[in-house]
Structure 1
Amino acid sequence: MTKWPFRILADWVSREATSSRTISGVTISELNDENTALAYDAMRALRPHLTFEDAFVSAVRIQRKEGYRLVASFDPAGRVAAVAGFRHMTNLYAGSHLYIDDLSTLPSARKQGHASALLSWVDEEARRLGCAGVHLDSGTPRHDAHRLYLSSGYVIPALHFSKTF
């Protein structure tokens, strides 16, 4: 697969205008199997272990079978600046909700409103689906992300524990 220094989607966004929305001056569009690769560079900012674009696209394809969805925020030139991956879940503690697995912005695009716009888009989607809310986990050293979540109305109701085998 060809590696481009920037992922450009301006033509696709204009063709698929019904699936695109502008929030706070930022264009947000949901990506599908055909254009998932556009999100690779932005996702690598959060997930540097994703060293191969093809493997990333394959992993997203598998996750989509489990309900994973991917939305992207575009800069004025049509380049993907940030991405959010999420899924609809229902469990006993939160009921029906959207869970954000991944929220990542290119370092050069940070503090420009892309992540805030993506969070707003996910909030709107949760309301549209009749969800009770939106949940996410965030790594403990990601203080800028924590400030964003708190300023966007998120609270810290619990700690997340994990065990790796």
Structure 2
Amino acid sequence: MSEKVVRELKKDQEIVSAYPVMNELRTHLKKAEFLSLVKEAMEVERYKLFAMEVDGRIVAVTGFKEMTTLYYGRFVWVCDLVTSEQYRSHGYGEELLRFVENWSKSHGYERIALSSGLKRTRAHQFYESKMNYDRVSYVFKKEF
């Protein structure tokens, strides 16, 4: 039987160890920029990075942060959630998102939110059908 564990990544070496999996979602980031952004987000935004490991190998990664807005009140925002392509359809993404949900509840949050790219239709099916998330808004951005 496989040994499966979810652990928080805080040290530089731990953060960098998640890069190959996170890079499947955030393909635009180079390793050094990834490390720098994660560290800044941890310091400034209370960002947390967790990895699911199976037999010592990272198979899925999530990053989330605690937030407060007038729209949602106090909630957890899932910034990143990705399972390595070779490990998809094994339930790891579901298990990792349930971990975030349980973490949120145990820290006094009543809701969780995330956004997903328009073209990620399989991810949308996962969130809506398997995880019972509601589609409630669009996210807009403008680059300068």
Fold similarity call, TM over 0.5: yes
Q: Does 1:105 align with 2:83?
A: yes
1:1-165 alignment runs, 5 A limit = 26-34=4-12, 35-51=14-30, 53-65=31-43, 66-75=45-54, 77-150=55-128, 151-165=130-144
In structure 2, how many angstroms separate the alpha carbons of the residues matched to 1:88 and 1:71? 14
In structure 2, how many angstroms separate the alpha carbons of the residues matched to 1:86 and 1:33? 17
Superposed CA offset, 1:19-46 (max 9, x none): xxxxxx8421111124111110010000
In structure 2, do the counterparts of structure 1 residues 39 and 106 end up closer, same or farther at CA, with 3 Å as the change threshold? Answer: same
Gaps of 5+ in 1: 1-24
Matched residue type, 2:19: Y
Deviation at 1:161, TM superposition (A): 1.4
How high is the TM-score relative to the length of structure 2? 0.91
In structure 1, how many angstroms separate the alpha carbons of the residues matched to 2:139 and 2:32? 30
Superposed CA offset, 1:25-75 (max 9, x none): 842111112411111001000011112x23211211111012100011112
Deviation at 1:111, TM superposition (A): 0.9
Secondary structure in 2 matching 1:126: helix
In structure 1, how many angstroms separate the alpha carbons of the residues matched to 2:140 and 2:37? 24
| CA RMSD in angstroms, aligned pairs only | 1.3
How high is the TM-score relative to the length of structure 1? 0.80
- How many corresponding residue pairs? 139
- Identical positions, percent: 34
Deviation at 1:148, TM superposition (A): 1.3
Superposed CA offset, 1:90-136 (max 9, x none): 10111110000111111111111111111100000110111121000
Gaps of 5+ in 2: none
Matched residue type, 1:120: R
Secondary structure in 1 matching 2:20: helix
Secondary structure in 1 matching 2:62: strand
In structure 2, how many angstroms separate the alpha carbons of the residues matched to 1:74 and 1:144? 23
